[in-house]
């Protein structure tokens, strides 16, 4: 029986969420595309790993221009993924295992194949014309037709697409096949709530990851963006179209009318281009009743170009510390919550970005990242393959192996920009090799058989070359494999949730470019956690010493580093405790040396 504060905590604060990208998780029928039956077949694996919530990326009916984020029917399933009956079976199978399900809620836009848009574009007089954003053209000095403004779309080009039939432009922040919905129209909002939210809550879904959650409210005037890229007619405009004038009104209405009647529905928002913590509090403050939490992308954005996303810029461990620390401290003294993650379907692999994917360091790096993430405060999100240390696509793969629309559009833009100059194109390829979204989308590596056990047929996307060595089956029985370590650390996080999932974060030695050092401390009202002094690995917390603080040290370098205990802890007894001991197996439960091995992480309980 948990303490009173634990019993009163919303379930989503203690969620350990595993994200599944359906096309790449597991294929059940040999067509080369992952599907819902394939996911159902591996629910026992997910239960054993220790997750308690599953986030399923878009599985809705879709032309798949943007990998399912272009939805043509919110109430149906993309046929290669399965059927509504399969989804009902999945929900039931998860709930029987005590695992909740959240879906992607993609309601800023639809596919241009959605029947709403088909009606909207049919004529200016159609009742659904105002369900999307339509504007007349403007004309330049020579009388040439031009879009209403100079905004650049997320995937390149203008945010406006000309419709020949009705002689107007429609707005799309993403691909032209993804027209933006008009949230200012009440009828549109009501239809969204019915089709995209209530339909799935009625089927037993437990919550939503809310896609591009700050873009629904469009600005009153579509003014031109500042010219920051003089060689491009289309300019970066996110500050102009994020966090619009009615954004908070819409989210309050959505929560009140579509979600609150179903009880405690989890919502986590994708909130890009919102660095101001005061603005974020308006979304996630408990009294605001809008969202439970949002993803903070400061760490994910490190190294991305300011003008061209895939033209890398340098960063070091101090930037990682600052990015994580900002949102760890954000919730102190606030009735709000935060998230912990290092990768998702829109980012490259974390072991390649923030540690080392070199063969001699990759497993150590994977364990290091696991230890860091599982000891930080907030709801924890893990992306498929992260638990075995899947890495970025090999450098020798040609660009045509990359399937993502954003990658291909960037490549073509750079070809035009450089005139195909080999040096410029190699620089573009280097950016793709490091940052492309494709890295997270290669098929999950189940075993060393053909196609990594993902499919009996030819996979929709090439399987990573390293699958014979890096796969789930090979890591199941190795005691210190990344998979085994993740499993242990998830158990450990649950056991000491008050300290790690909910504790207060304090960083030390910020200027150290090699070692990340911080403490976690139980909040006063929560009481301590109990550990055995003789048998630290025991599961019975009814006896032993009370612990209210832990020290975490993480060596993010390929060289040994001296262990430095923060001055304020030097008078304390600091003891290494089994399970969190170290990412280096031979230190487990022993008196660890004063030197950290390359990419070693440790947790000490401060007694």
* The pLDDT of residue 337: 97
227 by DSSP, 3-state: which?
coil
* The pLDDT of residue 499: 95
Share of the chain above pLDDT 90, in %: 84
Specify whether the CB–CB gap between 110 and 72 falls below 8 A: yes
Distances (CA, A) of 25 to 39, 200, 382, 416: 7, 22, 14, 35
DSSP annotation of 255 = I
* The pLDDT of residue 374: 98
264 by DSSP, 3-state: which?
coil
Q: pLDDT (tens digit, 9 = 90+) per residue, 359-398?
A: 999 999 999 999 999 999 999 999 999 999 999 999 999 9
Q: What is the mean pLDDT of residues 255-280?
A: 93
Task: Give buried/exposed letters for 298-323 (b at 16+ CB in 10 A, else e).
Answer: ebbbbbbeeebebbbeebebebbbeb
Q: How many CA atoms lie within 13 A of 171 on its CB side?
A: 25
Q: What is the DSSP string of 376-441?
A: SSSEEEEETTGGGT--PPPTTS-GGG---HHHHHHHHHHHHHHTT-HHHHHHHHHHHHHH-GGGGT
Residue 307 confidence class, pLDDT cut points 50, 70, 90: confident
* The pLDDT of residue 71: 98
Q: What is the mean pLDDT of residues 518-541?
A: 65
* Residues 559, 600: Cα–Cα separation, whole Å: 10
Domain 4-106+297-476 has CATH 3.30.70.1560: no
* The pLDDT of residue 417: 87
Structural domain spans, the chain: 4-106+297-476, 115-171, 503-606
Is residue 70 left, alpha or beta, with left meaning phi > 0 and alpha meaning psi from -120 to 50?
beta
Q: pLDDT (tens digit, 9 = 90+) per residue, 237-253?
A: 999 999 999 999 999 99
* The pLDDT of residue 448: 98
275 by DSSP, 3-state: which?
coil
Residues in the chain: 607
* The pLDDT of residue 541: 45
**Would the pLDDT of 422 be above 60?**
yes
* Residues 581, 569: Cα–Cα separation, whole Å: 18
Q: What is the mean pLDDT of residues 159-170?
A: 98
**Would the pLDDT of 535 be above 90?**
no
Query: How does the average pLDDT of the chain come out, rounded?
Result: 93
Q: What is the mean pLDDT of residues 183-192?
A: 98
pTM of the full structure: 0.94
Q: What is the mean pLDDT of residues 110-131?
A: 98
Lowest-pLDDT range of 2-6, 319-323, 402-406, 462-466: 2-6
Neighbours of 281 (CB within 10 A): 16
* The pLDDT of residue 526: 63
**Would the pLDDT of 587 be above 70?**
no
213 by DSSP, 3-state: which?
coil
Q: pLDDT (tens digit, 9 = 90+) per residue, 543-571?
A: 467 788 999 999 999 999 999 889 888 87
Lowest-pLDDT range of 1-10, 269-278, 309-318: 1-10
Residue 412 confidence class, pLDDT cut points 50, 70, 90: very high
Residue 537 confidence class, pLDDT cut points 50, 70, 90: very low
* The pLDDT of residue 1: 36
155: CB partners within 8 A, 6+ apart: 66, 174, 175, 405, 406, 409
Q: pLDDT (tens digit, 9 = 90+) per residue, 469-510?
A: 999 999 998 999 999 999 999 999 999 999 999 999 999 999
* The pLDDT of residue 197: 98
* The pLDDT of residue 601: 96
CA neighbor of 19 nearest in space, from 296, 271, 345: 345
* The pLDDT of residue 546: 78
**Would the pLDDT of 151 be above 50?**
yes
Q: How many CA atoms lie within 13 A of 510 on its CB side?
A: 10
Q: What is the mean pLDDT of residues 124-146?
A: 97
Q: pLDDT (tens digit, 9 = 90+) per residue, 467-479?
A: 999 999 999 989 9
Distances (CA, A) of 43 to 85, 95, 97, 442: 17, 11, 8, 20
* Residues 22, 28: Cα–Cα separation, whole Å: 11
* The pLDDT of residue 258: 98
- Which segments within 522-600 are labelled E, that is strand? 529-531, 545-547, 549-555, 561-562, 574-576, 595-596
* Residues 24, 556: Cα–Cα separation, whole Å: 30
Residue 532 confidence class, pLDDT cut points 50, 70, 90: low
Secondary structure percentages of the chain, helix, strand, coil, to 5? 35, 15, 50
Question: How would CATH label the architecture of 115-171?
Answer: Alpha-Beta Complex (3.90)
* The pLDDT of residue 7: 57
* Residues 153, 410: Cα–Cα separation, whole Å: 12
H or E stretch covering 210: strand 207-210
CATH topology of domain 503-606: Immunoglobulin-like (2.60.40)
* The pLDDT of residue 536: 40
Chain-centroid distance of CA 309 in Å reads 17
Specify whether the CB–CB gap between 484 and 475 falls below 8 A: yes
Handedness of CA 29, 31, 37, 43 (dihedral sign): positive
Active-site residue numbers? 211, 270
DSSP annotation of 453 = G
* Residues 86, 59: Cα–Cα separation, whole Å: 11
């Amino acid at each position: 029986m948990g303490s009173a504060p634990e019993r009163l905590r919303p379930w989503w604060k203690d969620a350990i969420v595993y994200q599944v990208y359906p096309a790449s998780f597991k294929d059940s029928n040999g067509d080369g595309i992952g599907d819902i039956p394939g996911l159902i077949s591996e629910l026992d694996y997910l239960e054993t790993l220790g997750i308690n919530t599953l986030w399923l990326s878009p599985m809705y009916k879709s032309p798949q221009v943007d990998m399912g984020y272009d939805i043509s029917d919110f109430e149906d399933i993309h046929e290669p993924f399965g059927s509504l009956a399969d989804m009902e079976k999945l929900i039931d199978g998860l709930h029987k295992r005590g695992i909740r399900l959240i879906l992607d809620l993609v309601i800023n836009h639809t596919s241009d194949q959605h029947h709403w848009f088909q009606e909207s574009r049919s004529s200016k007089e159609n009742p659904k014309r105002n369900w999307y954003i339509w504007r007349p053209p403007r004309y330049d000095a020579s009388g040439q037709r031009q879009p209403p403004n100079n905004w650049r779309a997320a995937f390149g080009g203008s945010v406006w697409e000309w419709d020949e039939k009705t002689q107007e432009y429609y707005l799309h922040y993403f691909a032209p096949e993804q027209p933006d919905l008009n949230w200012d129209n009440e009828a549109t909002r009501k239809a969204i709530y019915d089709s995209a939210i209530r339909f799935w809550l009625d089927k037993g879904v437990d919550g939503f990851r809310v896609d591009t959650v700050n873009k629904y409210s469009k600005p009153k005037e579509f003014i031109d963006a500042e010219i920051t890229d003089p060689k491009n007619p289309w300019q970066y405009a996110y500050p102009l179209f994020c966090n619009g004038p009615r954004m908070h009104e819409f989210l309050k209405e959505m929560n009140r009318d579509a979600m609150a009647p179903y009880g405690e529905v989890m919502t986590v928002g994708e909130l890009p281009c919102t660095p101001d913590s005061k603005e974020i509090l308006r979304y996630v403050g408990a009294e605001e009743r809008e969202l439970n939490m949002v993803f903070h992308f400061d760490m994910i954005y490190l190294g991305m170009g300011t003008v061209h996303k895939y033209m890398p810029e340098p960063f070091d461990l101090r930037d990682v510390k600052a990015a994580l620390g900002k949102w760890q401290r954000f919730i102190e003294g606030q009735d709000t919550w935060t998230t912990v993650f290092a990768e998702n379907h829109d980012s490259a692999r974390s072991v390649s970005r923030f540690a080392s994917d070199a063969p001699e360091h990759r497993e150590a790096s994977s364990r290091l990242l696991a230890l860091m993430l599982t000891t930080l405060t907030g709801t924890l999100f893990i992306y498929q393959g992260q638990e075995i240390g899947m890495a970025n696509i090999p450098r020798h793969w040609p660009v045509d192996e990359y399937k993502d629309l954003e990658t291909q559009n960037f490549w073509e833009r750079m070809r035009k920009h450089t005139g195909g100059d080999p040096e410029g194109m190699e620089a573009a390829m280097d950016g793709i090799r490091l940052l492309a979204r494709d890295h997270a989308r290669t098929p999950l590596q189940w075993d060393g058989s053909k196609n990594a056990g993902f499919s009996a047929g030819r996979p929709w996307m090439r399987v990573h070359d390293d699958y014979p060595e890096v796969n789930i089956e090979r890591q199941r029985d190795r005691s210190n494999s990344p998979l085994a370590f993740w499993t242990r650390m998830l158990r450990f996080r649950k056991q000491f949730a008050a300290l790690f999932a909910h504790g207060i974060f304090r960083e030390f030695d910020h200027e150290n470019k090699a070692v990340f050092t911080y403490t976690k401390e139980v909040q006063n009202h929560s009481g301590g956690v109990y550990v055995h002094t003789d048998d630290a690995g025991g599961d019975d917390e009814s006896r032993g010493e009370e612990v209210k603080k832990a020290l975490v040290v993480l060596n993010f370098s390929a060289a040994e580093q001296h262990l430095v205990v923060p001055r304020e802890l030097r008078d304390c007894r600091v003891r290494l405790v089994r399970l969190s001991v170290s990412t280096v197996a031979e230190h487990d439960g022993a008196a660890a040396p004063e030197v950290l091995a390359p990419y070693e992480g440790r947790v000490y309980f401060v007694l």
